[in-house]
Each structure stands twice: as C-alpha cells, then as structure tokens.
Amino acid sequence: MEDIECPYCKESFEYDSDPIGQDEETEIECYACDKSFVVSAHWDVTYSSRKADCLNDGCCTFKDLCRTPFIIAKKVGQMCSQCGKEKDRDATVEEIKAELEQLKDYPSLHKITLGRDYNHD
C-alpha cells in the first residue's frame, strides 16, 4: 500500500485499491474533501552489472543444469556460470545407462526413453 496525497486539500491517505500498471491512471475521490483526482503509477528501474569475462575471451564455463540427461533427446542442458548462456551437450552412454537404471522400476517409461540406440536389461 502506498500513501497518496490529495492535490486539493493535501490530506494523505493509504491507497489500497488494485494496483495499476505503468503509465495507467485511475480516478479516486479524497475522503477528506470529497474531490476527485487522478492517480498515476510510476516505477523505478534498477540495473546491476557483473563481470562476464567469457563475453570478451569466448571461454564460457558451462555447468550441467541437472545431474541426469534428458533421455528422450539424449542431451544434458548446461549454463555458463558467468554470462548465463545456455546450451545442450550430448549425454554420454554412461549417463544414459545410469538414468535408465534409475528408471528400471518404471517399465512404461522405458518404451518412451529407450528408443533403438540403447538396450537395458
């Protein structure tokens, strides 16, 4: 909630109506002087910065986003810890087999995830 000052009588009161968007206006009435006036919303934008040396030298430091590969696509999502750039890398056979081992109790998923390239017994 925000305090609003009536432009006529200068009385301050809490504005507790639904929020209005940037560059939108709404009409309200002052409870003290009964005059109507317009209220506008304004936002302040704050920016921050951080170093991202990889943007200058081209050497991103990619880290896996999760422990296990996305088996259907046989890919592992990665993100650069400096600039936030995302990419996929091919999952290794070992990663895929480990994921399938974890899924062994769910036979219906094997038909979806196994495909033709890997066998799991």
Domain ranges of the chain: 2-40, 54-113
Q: Which of 8-17, 28-37, 50-59 has the lowest mean pLDDT?
A: 8-17
User: Would residue 19 be called left, alpha or beta, if left means φ above 0 and alpha means ψ between -120 and 50 degrees?
Assistant: beta
Confidence at 109, pLDDT banded by 50, 70, 90: low
Element (H, E) at 112: helix 107-113
Examine the pLDDT at 114 and tell me if it is beyond 60: no
Three-class SS of residue 110?
A: helix
Query: β-strand 2-5 against 36-40: which pairing, if any?
Result: unpaired
- Rounded Cα gap, residues 13 and 4, in angstroms: 6
CA angle (59, 64, 68) in 5-degree steps: 155
pLDDT of residue 52: 92
**How large is the average pLDDT for residues 22-37?**
88
Q: Do residues 40 and 24 lie in contact, with contact meaning Cβ atoms separated by under 8 Å?
A: yes
Which of the two residues, 19 and 101, has the higher pLDDT score?
Answer: 101
pLDDT of residue 121: 43
pLDDT of residue 10: 95
Which of the two residues, 70 and 116, has the higher pLDDT score?
Answer: 70
- Rounded Cα gap, residues 48 and 67, in angstroms: 30
